[in-house]
Structure 1
Amino acid sequence: MKKVSVIAAAVAASLAAGSAFAVDFNGYMRAGIGISGETGSDQSFNKNGIGRLGNENDNYSEFGLAETLQTGEQTWRIESMIASGHDGANGWEDGDFVVAQFAAKATGVLGFDPGATLWAGKTYYQRKDIHISDWYFLNTSGTGGGIENISIGDTKLSVALIQDGEDKDANEAGYMADVRLAGINLWDDASLEVALVYNFGVEGNNGKIDGDDGLMATGILHQGLSNGFNQTVFQYGTAGYGVQMANFWGSGAYYDRSGNENDGSGFRIINWGVMNLGESWEMGHQLAYLSGSDLGADKIDSSQYSVVVRPMYKWNDTMRTIFEGGYNAGDVDNEDFGSAKFTIAQAWAMGDSFWARPEIRVYGSYLIDTENDDQFGAGEDTDFVVGIQAEAWW
């Protein structure tokens, strides 16, 4: 028998031993077209700081296939996902295709805690994001392994080791040791989650890493409300994580090992949430303050703040009008910067919830570079974009 036939037979036999064969198809997509008054095409201008609605210029998609198998008290899940991004300028065009996830996850195989999950492979690892600004403030996804949801009283401990870059020519590689404790009960409908990520480099023969190891600490206070939820987040980072906390909207997945960030540190405070404001109104928001010192080779200081609000009026179960305003300003090495946006969109969605998708929206966005940095062409500090976009997850 050919090798491939043996493998096929083994797969068929193992699937037959499971309780069912039902592939889980999941994913995400956004695609659309925009016309700009200044640059011609649609724009994406500082969307993490001023909001993403009517402020995206790409097509992006994720297609996931997963299979869950049951054998006795054990549950095995095989997950895979292909992701693609391109500018959408043509009907048939090259784009970036990556295998974003392929991992095996097993629950019920660890005798000390049947509810814990053992995993290995490449996965989206417990990502934390704010949807209205497309910002992952904690994202250590990658290739690795670990154990999730170890019971410690009412709380859940997760530990993982995930690779973070490799330079074969320099004989060096980076890793993230990620430890999280979730479900720390505080008061009514309030809980705390803490995460510590230690990023370190390993040198091979004749390898030399100039960058110091760094620590990123995160605390997430989640408050459930009768009309929604609110989260307050505090994060602090050292060395290569310091610049991520302060200068750009980093998530923890990138680390500078050049040595330029060894003396740096940074922190940020975030508040965000979604709530109902009556029978027909719903609103999401983001408030953030970011600050850092001794960043980069020049040891600069920086600080900035961001305000984004997205109120939505629901005409009925399908049609809604969405507004989004955002402002982001601060200074880097005593040089001011600033940007602002206002968007109005008429949208139709599968349901009346803030999170209801699929959604098709027609929008107009007014973008402002408040410091006149020629963001939209020579001498241009404003732009107006009209467009149509679809967004969905399933």
Structure 2
Amino acid sequence: MYHLRKLPVAVAVAASLVSFSSFSETESNNSAQIEELTKRIQELETKVQETDYIYDQQPAVLTPDFEPPQGLIFSGYARYGMHYSDSDSAYIDVGSSGRSVGRLGNEANGGEIQFAYAKKADNGAVWDIVAMFDQWGNRAWGSEGGVNLKKMYAGVTNVFESQPELYMWAGRDFHQRPQQGLNDYFWMSHDGQGGGFNNLNLGGVKLDMGIVGQVDSETGALGNDNGKYALTSKLHGIDLGIGALDLYANYGFASKQADVSVQDNNSWQLGATLGLGASNKFVFKYADNSDNSAFDLNDDLKVIYASLEGGISPTDAFKVDYLASFKQLNGEDTSDRNEYSVIARPMYQWDDVHSTWLEAGYAMEDHDDNTEKKGWKVTLSQNVSLGGLPWSRPMLRFYVTAGDVKATDVEKVDTLAAGAMFEAWW
């Protein structure tokens, strides 16, 4: 992450030099002041490093010990590049759980640019004001094209002495969007405008709650409420010894401003994530009248989703990430089916710059009417990145992707593509 901080740091250092010169009367004083100046510069650098917003496409929640830097905080996520394909289809798409055959070499362009300003009040309260603009041009990401205002909110923490970690917010924000990596899937997502709180301490366990309205997306993410609302909650910080347990419960409803077809509908969701050791996680969701969002208000739809994901490291240089998932959908207005997905991504790090990844995935839709849809994908990617870890970014990625999709009584659709893309979060 890069802060717009060079000028404030330079001013601080210059002020230190002026202070130093006015007191340098003797050689011993010189040595003492040089040592003090070095210490002050190190403290400034440490302070700047510790005030990073960690941008991972999740809501940003301030903590009481956050020390606001001078100026704006610039953060974001983006991936852009060429994806050339002269075959039947440029991408491989099966099922409804994101990129179920794997996202590597199988994802579209787009990005999110965020600016934040934070301030600590004299009473210790820490405030932030955040704006984000995105450009995806992809309906799956809530955008029909162009640049949209994705965030505009204010928040504050350390207001109540008995609840110093409680963070309150109001406005338009990312909201409750647990994400999986290999399939790029938000198995719950309630981005919208409203308000709520995070980290209400209930004796060691923490509670998040919010109420949000879905943004009218007919003109991208530029509209007002469309009449669909969600009451969301998350209980987290439950330590079971083998890992942390997080619990989700959400309720969706509509006002008379919503489309007539959903005004009398409601929905609810229950979900859980359980850590299994240091690098594995189990996910479960049950949804009634909805799938990924309580905003769906899809009457009679019932969804069960379960997955196991994680990674292993046979050596320091060789790592393998994996994800296996199952999804069941039933309802009058949907095709009753079971969906299966398996993805594996072996990664070898040659040094702290170069790496080679191979991602293979298989997915299938098994419909109750005895029809099937199945697909596979393999991507070989040569990468150049800043750092020696799989998640080090920015990354330049040069890849080749092959795969196909076959549905019952439908001609097979082949994919062969090559691309060059950068990906970064900061």
TM-score (norm 1): 0.81
> Which whole-Å CA distance do the structure 2 matches of 1:162 and 1:173 have between them?
10
Are residues 63 and 123 of structure 1, via their aligned partners in 2, closer, same or farther at CA, if it must alter by over 3 Å?
A: same
Residue 191 to residue 29, structure 1, CA distance change in 2 (3 Å): same
> Judging changes above 3 Å, is the alpha-carbon distance between structure 1 residues 363 and 105 closer, same or farther for their aligned structure 2 residues?
same
1:79 Cα deviation from its structure 2 partner: 1.1
1:272, distance to aligned residue in structure 2 (A): 1.1
Structure 2 CA distance for partners of 1:38 and 1:380, relative to 1, 3 Å? farther
CA gap 1:233/1:19 in 2 versus in 1, 3 angstroms: closer
Match of 1:359, as an amino acid? Answer: M
Counting aligned pairs with the same residue, the percent is 25
Q: Please give the residue correspondences for 1:122-271 in structure 2 after superposition, counting only pairs within 5 Å.
A: 122-164=172-214, 173-188=227-242, 190-203=243-256, 209=262, 211-225=264-278, 229-239=279-289, 241=290, 244=291, 251-252=292-293, 254-256=295-297, 261-271=298-308
Partner residue of 2:416 out of 368, 384, 393: 384
Question: Aligned-pair distance for 1:310?
Answer: 1.0
What does 1:18-37 align with in structure 2 at a 5 Å threshold? 21-37=70-86
| Native 8 Å contact 2:72 2:115 kept in 1 | yes
Over 3 Å counting, the alpha-carbon distance change for 1:274 and 1:105 in structure 2 is: farther
Which protein is richer in helix relative to its size? 2
Aligned residue for 1:49, secondary structure, equals: coil
Per-residue CA deviations over 1:152-197 (Å, capped at 9, x if unaligned) read: 11111011001135699xx971110001100101014x11000101
Cα RMSD of the aligned pairs, angstroms, is 2.7
Out of 81, 87, 93, the residue aligned to residue 132 of structure 2 is 81
SS of 1:311's equivalent in the other structure is strand
Matching residue of 2:400: 364
1:299-347 CA-to-partner distances (Å, cap 9, x unmatched) read 7421111101111011111111100011110223422111110111111
Q: Distance in 1 between matches of 2:258 and 2:191?
A: 28
1:254 and 1:328, CA in 2 relative to 1: closer, same or farther beyond 3 A?
farther
2:423 is matched by which residue type in structure 1?
Answer: E
Change (3 A) 1:317 1:209: closer
1:105 match: 155
Which residue pairs with 2:309 in the alignment?
A: 272
Contact kept? 1:211, 1:262, Cα under 8 Å = no
- Return the alpha-carbon distance in structure 2 between the equivalents of residues 206 and 292 of structure 1: 24
As a proportion of its length, which structure holds more strand? 1
Structure 1: gaps spanning 5 or more residues: 1-17, 88-93, 245-250
Which of 326, 347, 371 is 1:289 aligned to?
326
Q: Of residues 332, 337, 342 in structure 2, which corresponds to 1:302?
A: 337
Measured in 1, the distance between the counterparts of 2:271 and 2:132 equals 28
Partner of 1:346: 382
In structure 2, relative to structure 1, the CA distance for the partners of 1:142 and 1:338 (3 Å cut) is same
Between the aligned partners of 2:307 and 2:419, the Cα distance in structure 1 is: 30
Contact 1:179 1:196 (8 Å CA) reproduced: yes
**Alignment partner, residue 61 of structure 1:** 111
1:230 alignment partner AA:
N
Counterpart selection for 1:321 from 335, 350, 356: 356
> Which has the higher Rg, Structure 1 or Structure 2?
2
Change (3 A) 1:23 1:253: farther
Compared with structure 1, are the counterparts of its residues 44 and 337 closer, same or farther at alpha carbon in structure 2 (3 Å cutoff)? closer
Q: Which residue of 2 aligns with 1:38?
A: 87
The answer to whether the 8 Å contact 1:372/1:381 transfers is no
2:136 counterpart SS class: strand
Give 5+ residue unaligned stretches, structure 2: 1-66, 139-143, 219-224
Measured after TM superposition, the shift of residue 30 of structure 1 is: 0.5
Counterpart in 2 of 1:393? 425
| Residues 99 and 234 (structure 1), Cα distance of their counterparts in 2 relative to 1, 3 Å cut | same
User: Runs ≥4 in structure 1, deviation > 4 angstroms?
Assistant: 165-168, 204-208
1:274, 1:214 → 2: CA distance?
Answer: 34
1:11 alignment counterpart: none
Query: Quick one: structure 1 residues 387 and 152, their matched pair in 2 at CA, closer, same or farther if it must change by over 3 Å?
Result: same
- Which of 149, 171, 186 matches 1:121? 171
Q: Contact conserved, 2:100 with 2:363, CA < 8 A, in 1?
A: yes
Number of residue equivalences: 344
Q: 1:221 & 1:338 partners in 2: Cα distance?
A: 29
